Amino acid sequence: MSDEHELVNFCCEELEEAVSSDPEASLIEHDSGLILLNLGHREEDGETGTVLTTIRFCPFCGTEIQTDEDIEAALGEVEIVE
C-alpha cells in the first residue's frame, strides 16, 4: 500500500489488513460496525457456536478503536444467542 493511502475506520494498515468479514477470521468486522476477536468454537448441549469478544484497543498499535459506549450502542442492535 502506498503512503498516500488513507485509512478509513482503521488506526493502522496492520489492522486494516487483518480485519475480515469472514466469520472464521481472527479479527472480524461485524455488520454492527464492531471489530470482534474470534476466540474459537464452543460446543454446548450438542450445538456448536463461535465465541466472539469485543476489543477496545488495536492489537497492533494500541490505539483505542472502540469505546465502552460504542460497544454498548452496537450490542444493543445485535441479537445475542446464549
pLDDT tens per residue, range 18-75: 999 888 899 999 888 889 999 999 998 999 988 999 999 999 999 999 999 988 888 8
Sequence letter at residue 17: E
DSSP code string of 7-71: PSS-SSHHHHHHEES-TTSSEEE-TTS-EEEEEEEEEETTEEEEEEEE-SB-TTT--B---HHHH
Report the greatest alpha carbon distance in the chain: 51
Of residues 9 and 3, which shows the higher confidence score? 9
Q: What's the pLDDT band for 81 if we cut at 50, 70, 90?
A: low
Per-residue model confidence (pLDDT) at position 63: 95
